Amino acid sequence: MDATDSPLDWVLTMAPYRRDAEHLEALLAQNGLPVRRAEGVEELTALLEQGPGVLVATHEALNPEVLEVIRRYLIDQPEWSEMPLVILLDRAVPQARVRAELSAAWPRSRQLYYQRPVTTLELLSGIQSILLARLRQRDIRDRIEREIELRRELNHRVKNILASISSIFQMTRRRAVSLDEFAEDFAGRLAALANVHSAVFQADGEAVEFSSVVELTFSPYRVRGTDRLVFTGPTVLLRPDAATTLALCLHELATNALKYGALSTPEGRVSLQWSVSEEADLLSLEWVESGGPSVSEPSRSGYGTRYIRSALSSQFGTPPVILFHPQGLRCIVSGPLSRVSPRQPEV
């Protein structure tokens, strides 16, 4: 039986004399335990590197060279691993002396001894118990590795969030003309950042649906008139970083519309539409304001406009088109869908 057929680790055997190896292999295989046999030192070294669950060896196989190979393997084991050694002793050997010698050769290793002839039930029970313990060791290893990966991911995300907050703070401070204006703008931008991170968290950090990002970003502005800000488009999954960037851009557009554009008057409306061409790997977004005050291009760009141009250019690879039409502001951007959406698995 191959090792891939069982959830348990496989058994490595070494029994060079008589027919011990054949008997061991047949016994273990008949009872569903994957087993491989080492005939000599080179084969033993190669098989140990593949990571067996347990080594079962007859006392006669343990010459000085074999002892050294096993000693080096035990020393180089990863911290989570403790491969047990099952030694089959002949009844005629001085068992106390052999155990002392092997304990000295393999310090701090787990050694189990059976005196031959050993009953089938006793040997099988012992090896199965060992392999179950090894399975638990691997479970612990997997959990530790997952925890380490989660900590790295959390550290990375926290650094990104703090960097975003620092950037938002500095750019808001430069353009603020009063403390009240600074506080209002800064709080709004932090709320947009918090909203999109809530959406990413609810999506388990893998991908988030664009319409959820839009809904969360627009919700603070829609209390002023739920039918004044509408959006439509097909399902688009976004990576967490792309979701954050687009949410902050939408927040800047909505804030500008509230202060100076369509949302600053009761009659004003905002429409956000997006479309996808999977054949061309293209995502297109269009922000259109209407019904607000007449719009003219400002003499200099504010924080919001600069951020939108910079962020969307970086995200899509092409700069957005921002048009200051008298009827209302328009912002249009197109770029590869693959730059913002998780890679789809190949079928």
- Mean pLDDT is highest, among 4-13, 164-173, 212-221, for 212-221
Which of the residue ranges 159-163, 177-181, 245-249, 269-273 would you say has the lowest mean pLDDT? 159-163
pLDDT of residue 2: 43
pLDDT of residue 212: 86
CA gap 198, 204 in Å, rounded = 10
CB atoms < 10 A from the CB of 161, how many? 14
Architecture of domain 176-339: 2-Layer Sandwich (3.30)
CA gap 330, 265 in Å, rounded = 17
Maximum CA extent, the chain: 104
What rounded mean pLDDT belongs to the chain?
83
In this prediction, residue 185 has a pLDDT band, given cuts at 50, 70 and 90, of: confident
pLDDT at 67 over 60: yes
pLDDT of residue 123: 87
pLDDT at 226 over 60: no
**Where does CATH 3.40.50.2300 sit in the chain?**
3-142
pLDDT at 329 over 90: yes
> What single DSSP character describes residue 228?
S
Q: Which amino acid is at 228?
A: R
Closest by alpha carbon to 127, among 59, 23, 26, 54? Answer: 54
pLDDT of residue 326: 92
CA gap 261, 256 in Å, rounded = 6
pTM, two decimal places? 0.50
Beta strand pairing status for 269-277 and 229-232? parallel
Which of the residue ranges 154-163, 217-226, 239-248, 262-271 would you say has the lowest mean pLDDT? 217-226
Q: Where are the beta strands (DSSP E) in 233-290?
A: 237-238, 269-277, 282-290
pLDDT in tens, 254-266: 878 878 889 888 8
In this prediction, residue 279 has a pLDDT band, given cuts at 50, 70 and 90, of: confident
Domain over 3-142 is classified CATH 1.20.1740.10: no
Q: How does 148-159 read in b/e, with b if 16+ C-beta sit within 10 Å? A: eeeeeeeeebee
Average the pLDDT over 26-36 and give the result: 85
**Where does CATH 3.30.565.10 sit in the chain?**
176-339
pLDDT of residue 205: 56
